[in-house]
Every structure is written in structure tokens, then in C-alpha cells.
Amino acid sequence: MGLYFKSLCSSSSGNSVVLWSDSTRIVIDCGFGSMKRCRAAFREHMSEPVEYQAVLLSHVHSDHISYYPLRALEEMGIPVFIHRDSLDLLREKHFNGYHFAGLNLQTFDKGAFSIGQFLIEPIKVMHHPWYPTFGFAIRYQSNHREYKVVTITDFCQWRNIVEHLADADFVFIESNHDLELLEMYYNPNSRFHMPNPETARLLCQARRQSVRPFETVMLGHISSQRNRASIALEETRRAFAEMELDLDFSLLAAPLREPSETVVIAE
């Protein structure tokens, strides 16, 4: 009973990742710029029929959801889950006066909820003050073992996140910008995102608090102008070496605009 993950796109120009088992598929964020691109992503990467399928939204910044993907999701009949505090903002920012009468929109709140085989725990994170933002810890049982997957992008404070990452099998985490490149190409919005050294520190702390190593960590939401995958990866490697911690898991970076490799979390 396998569990798999793939990033479809991951940058400030669009974010969407997918986690699936044999019966359940969840797509976290759906930041495609057009109905065509959204339909194509589902056709290319999610054509296998599954019993349960849903889109989960972390927050409503337009690199994560917007009018056109909402139209495509309505057309495909795919349910969309959003935190109840983001519902009005979603309508205000992205409905564009259209009623979305056929959109299956469901809300979650503080507590964990189930979609098919996955138990999903929302993790509130600090990001832009006007936009309530959530990461997710997702649990999946197979062969008497529980697997834990954590996905968090778009945040700027990490102390409360360490405990959620501990003992995860797979982590998808933002490593947004390099501090030197930020000086060269200043962007005031970068302060709502994680610089490489902070993500590196967070991963060190989480590894320290874990009884067993992560299987795989993938860095995501990498800025195209203010970062490089190679710099982000190196920063994490260096932090582990400086802390005298073994980097005893596989460390990857999500491509910005193309799909990543498929990560096998459970076989």
C-alpha cells in the first residue's frame, strides 16, 4: 500500500503538490494561472481514478489559488477544503463576481479531519498578517505502521513548527530566499517567507527532536530571483555540519515550474 508525493510547481509564480495512496489523492494548493494549465496538470499527473480526491488550500494568495483554477475545479467536480477563516477572503479575492454554485467548497477549523485514508491536521503558521495560513501534518496507516507527511510553505516564524516536523517520514518545507540575493534584489514581501538559514536551523532542530531520521526532505517555494536550489541545499547541508548532526536523510529541492520526481514515502 504505497504513499507517494510529487511537487507539480513550487515558486511565487504557482504552487501545487500532490500526495496519494492507492485510494486517496490530495492536492495541496492549486496555483495554476489558467483553466487550461489546471486541467492539464490533473490530466497529466492525476489521471488514475481514486476513490477520494480533494484540493486543500494553505491560504488564498494568488500563487496558491485564484479564479481560473477554481473554475477548473468546479468543472471537474473536485472538492476544495479551506480554513473557515479564509472563506470570506477567498470569495472577495478570487470569485470575481461569479457564484461558483457548482463548487464543492468545504471548511476545516482547528481540529484534524479525514479525507479517505489520510488524517489531516492543520498547522497554523505566521505569514502575511491579512492571510490566515496553514501547513498540514498528514497521517497514513499502512501495514500496522503510521506514516507522517508534513507540508509547510509560506511562513516566517518557525519555533512552533519544530514539534510538528519531528519524526516525519517526509517533509516539504519552504526555503524561500538567500540573504545576499535579497540585498541585491530587495522585495518587501520576502519578510513573510523563510530565508535559507532559518529553514536550515528549523530542520536541524526538528532532526534533533526526532527519534528516527526523516526519509526525505524536499525544499520548496524557492524564489526565482532571490535564491537557487543549489544555494538552499548547501545552506541546509552546512547547518547540519556546523551543528555536528548527520544529514541522514535524502535532501531534495523542488523545481520551480516543472514537476519534481515522484518521492516514494511508503511502498
Q: What is the DSSP string of 214-258?
A: -SEEEEE---TTT--HHHHHHHHHHHHHHTT----SEEEE--SSS
- The nearest distance, CB 50 to Zn ion, in angstroms, is 26
Taking CB under 5 A as the rule, does residue 29 contact Zn ion? no
Whole-number minimum distance, CB 122 to Zn ion, in Å? 16
What is the closest distance, in whole angstroms, from the C-beta atom of residue 130 to Zn ion in the complex?
10
Q: What cell numbers appear for 19 in the block? A: 500526495
CB of 189 to Zn ion, least distance (A): 8
Stretch that binds Zn ion, among 32-40, 62-70, 79-87, 183-191 (CB under 5 A): 62-70
| Residue 83 binding Zn ion, by CB under 5 A | no
Instruction: Quote the strand ranges of the chain, DSSP E.
Output: 3-11, 14-20, 24-28, 52-56, 80-83, 105-108, 113-115, 118-125, 133-142, 145-152, 170-174, 216-220, 250-253, 263-266
Considering only residues 119 to 178 of the shown chain, the ones binding Zn ion according to CB under 5 A are: 154
CB nearer to Zn ion: pick between 116 and 132: 132
Closest residue (Cβ) to Zn ion? Answer: 61
* Contact window for Zn ion (CB under 5 A) among 59-67, 118-126, 158-166, 236-244: 59-67
CB of 35 to Zn ion, least distance (A): 20
**Does residue 61 interact with Zn ion by CB under 5 A?**
yes
State the cell numbers at 120: 489531516
Q: Under rule CB under 5 A, how many of the chain's residues touch Zn ion?
A: 3
CA distances from 125 to 53, 89, 90, 162 (A): 25, 17, 18, 12
Q: Say how far apart CA 116 and CA 179 lie, in whole Å.
A: 41
Q: Give the chain's end-to-end CA distance (angstroms, integer).
A: 6
63 scored as a contact of Zn ion (CB under 5 A) = yes
The footprint of Zn ion (CB under 5 A) covers 61, 63, 154
